[in-house]
Structure 1
Amino acid sequence: MATHLGMSRTTVSEALRDHPRVNPETRTLVQAHAREVGYQFNPLASSVLSEVRRTRLDTFRGVLATIGLEEPARVPFLGAYWHDLQRGAAERAEQLGFKLEKFIVGERGVSVQRLDTILRTRGIRGVLIMPAWNRPDFTQLSWTNYSGIYADYLIDQPALHTVCPDHPRAMGLAMRRVQELGYKRPGLALIEQESNRLDNRWLAAFLAYAHLHPELTPPAPLIMPQVSAELFKKWFRKYKPDVVIGHRAEMIKWMQECGARVPETHGFCSVNIGLNTGKLAGLDLQPRRIGERAIDMLISQIHHNFSGIPDLPCNTTVPALWADGPTLRAQK
């Protein structure tokens, strides 16, 4: 085919794979001729070539970027969760022949426009956007040049493929576990932004589980506009939950200031043990596995020469694991 069209084999190969390096007119010509001669893509051959590239790390190496936002309010994401997600992504990239480089967008980092120039200049085609406290805006990146994945639930500027924990399933796991431990009155306590940024998926799953288990008598959930010991203690004293389910480990101290003894009289279940220091009972959202899965998805896009904003952005979820800890009573 290359000889017939008077082109190099590389040009024909890249045109058949819709590589953006080949101009659209050439791609159209090559693909039209391929249809005429009955050419069909062979996925087995493609997978073999991908394996060759993967195992020849001394001669083939790509660069991917992880992008984080500098956010003063991003306190929860400064913990082990962010670090483990980044580590999982870096290790998976290394296994697949890629190096991961970190960029921070903000006053102490670079602007989105400057980042775009750096990525294009260095030929970096894959970007992994790290979890952000607020919904991130990366519309100013030249997305025709990049494949992108967001390692959290929702991004709409632009709408990319995402990978994140399975929050509803995780809440069901937490509720089932505290029920098995004998708690009858579980109380959900969240910061409003912690709930809103996930489209209230924690709250919805909590309410659904409570509705389906009438033997439980949970109080009205506490959704605080901001972190407030005063609001929490007022709610705790009024509604008397026997176990609190939430993000913030400081709630244990507030419970104790109300007379609770954890875990003797009351319990605390963390919906994300990776956001706190110290040993807690609760959910391991597997950030390392999320990082690995995000890189798998990103490199798959690159291998298929997909760049730009997807027509149908999809969300991939990773199941949580349960972690025993000293903040809940022991199994009877």
Structure 2
Amino acid sequence: MSASAPTLRSLAKVLGLSRTTVSDALRGSPRVDPNTALRVKKAAREAGYRRNPLAGALMSELRRSRGTAFRGVLAAVDFNEPDRPDAAARYHRELVIGAETRATELGFKVEKFSVGHAGVSVQRLDSILQSRGIHGVILLPAWDEPDLSNLDWTQFAGVYTDYIIERPALHSVCSDHYRSMLAALQRLVALGYRRPGLFLQRHHDERLQYRWGAAFRAFQENQAGIQVVPPLVVDTFTKEDFVKWFRKNKPDVVLGHHSIAIDWMESCGAELPATHGFVCLNVLMKTRPCAGLDLQPRTLGARSTELLIAQLQRNETGIPEWPSTTTIPAHWVDGPTLRSSAGTAG
């Protein structure tokens, strides 16, 4: 072999095989005799050959589209989960729009897949992606613990668009929930609120390793002039539980994901924004106008795409040795459920 980087052509010349046979052998094609495939892989390993995961997808798509700007295909994989909240669908759509937009700008396109309940199996997904030459995978958030460990990750690079994934442990891009909660509370204090209250669905906080609740409690403990209101954390929200908590603890502003709480507050005599306030922790979930946090799913989708393409361009497939997490703070959205300047709540 020469001192230059080995190629399919140079491997084929040394082995006395066609370039197509060498390529098929390295891709694991059943068309190649197993003994020949072993010989090819051994020679490639000894020569230090590294396959570019973008090359196959690029050539395949160019042959189909006859285009000149196309660089590759990425997969956006959603987990079809029957117990996932319906409100998550809009958030996922926004993530995909962000990923598609940025991918197009960078010369890629995104194909969507669904796995799990009413979707394809992980094994079938592996076969589809490899047959189409797709080596970049964007995983959308899962409500339960996601498991894509059965994918042949030697063939793929992946990014998870939520806080943590362990099967396998991949790079992640997600909202900075902790920082966003602190920023929201600081804004509320500046508006004169002194008894902020938080209500959460237990699983919603657990899957983020309690970052909403942790930030809220840390703020209560360290912010002068704040009166402590215990958070309401339940498995499933009911008006009865909320009203009981609201009347007992008397928060002057409430933070939570479900804007139905505004109705429940008003049923207790609250007048928003005159006497009380409300902040939605994800404005995509609101069912009526209110102030809240935009978790910026389109930006998260775009950033995930950038990181994934960068991995592919560096020829980095497989499970990373040191998975990293990229966080993006939420954007504040004003609304009619908060007073516009500091004052004293009734």
Paired position in structure 1 for 2:181: 171
Does the 8 A contact of 1:218 with 1:241 survive in 2? no
Does the 8 A contact of 1:2 with 1:8 survive in 2? no
**Distance in 2 between the 1:176 and 1:86 partners?**
31
CA 304–272 in structure 1, closer or farther in 2 if over 3 Å, else same: same
Q: Which amino acid is 1:238 matched to?
A: K
Does the 8 A contact of 1:269 with 1:327 survive in 2? yes
CA 331–57 in structure 1, closer or farther in 2 if over 3 Å, else same: farther
**Distance in 2 between the 1:257 and 1:330 partners?**
23
| Correspondence 1:80 to 2:90 | yes
| Correspondence 1:247 to 2:257 | yes
Paired position in structure 1 for 2:121: 111
CA 5–94 in structure 1, closer or farther in 2 if over 3 Å, else same: closer
CA 11–317 in structure 1, closer or farther in 2 if over 3 Å, else same: farther
Paired position in structure 1 for 2:210: 200
| Correspondence 1:301 to 2:311 | yes
Does the 8 A contact of 1:66 with 1:127 survive in 2? yes
Give the structure-1-normalised TM-score. Answer: 0.84
Paired position in structure 2 for 1:157: 167
Q: Residue by residue, what CA displacement relative to the aligned partner does 1:59-115 show, whole Å, maximum 9, x if unpaired?
A: 433111001111233225535322221111000111111110111113322111211
Q: RMSD over aligned Cα, in angstroms?
A: 2.5
Q: Which amino acid is 1:86 matched to?
A: V
The SS at the match of 2:200 is strand
Q: Residue by residue, what CA displacement relative to the aligned partner does 1:209-239 show, whole Å, maximum 9, x if unpaired?
A: 1111130103111111112222111111110
CA 96–157 in structure 1, closer or farther in 2 if over 3 Å, else same: same
Alignment match of 1:141 (pick from 151, 157, 162): 151
Alignment match of 1:120 (pick from 104, 116, 130): 130
Of residues 109-118 and 3-12 in structure 1, the stretch that sits farther from structure 2 once superposed is 3-12
Does the 8 A contact of 2:196 with 2:229 survive in 1? yes
Does the 8 A contact of 1:164 with 1:290 survive in 2? yes
**Distance in 1 between the 2:6 and 2:80 partners?**
51
Q: CA deviation at 1:28?
A: 3.9
The SS at the match of 1:234 is helix
Paired position in structure 2 for 1:231: 241
Q: Which amino acid is 1:311 matched to?
A: E
Does the 8 A contact of 2:69 with 2:107 survive in 1? no
| Correspondence 1:256 to 2:266 | yes
**Distance in 1 between the 2:4 and 2:101 partners?**
44
CA 166–10 in structure 1, closer or farther in 2 if over 3 Å, else same: farther
CA 4–197 in structure 1, closer or farther in 2 if over 3 Å, else same: closer
Does the 8 A contact of 1:80 with 1:276 survive in 2? no
Q: Residue by residue, what CA displacement relative to the aligned partner does 1:113-133 show, whole Å, maximum 9, x if unpaired?
A: 211111111111011000111
Q: Which amino acid is 2:180 matched to?
A: A
Q: Which amino acid is 2:143 matched to?
A: W
Q: Which amino acid is 1:243 matched to?
A: V
The SS at the match of 2:166 is coil
CA 256–310 in structure 1, closer or farther in 2 if over 3 Å, else same: same
Q: CA deviation at 1:183?
A: 0.7
Q: Residue by residue, what CA displacement relative to the aligned partner does 1:236-257 show, whole Å, maximum 9, x if unpaired?
A: 1110101111111111111112
Runs of 5+ unmatched residues, structure 1: 13-19, 32-52
Aligned residues: 302
| Correspondence 1:211 to 2:221 | yes
**Distance in 1 between the 2:291 and 2:164 partners?**
27
Paired position in structure 1 for 2:33: none
Q: CA deviation at 1:3?
A: 8.5
Alignment match of 2:71 (pick from 48, 58, 61): 61
Q: CA deviation at 1:143?
A: 1.1
Give the structure-2-normalised TM-score. Answer: 0.81
**Distance in 2 between the 1:30 and 1:328 partners?**
62
| Correspondence 1:190 to 2:200 | yes
Q: CA deviation at 1:6?
A: 8.9
Paired position in structure 2 for 1:29: 47
Q: Which amino acid is 1:126 matched to?
A: G
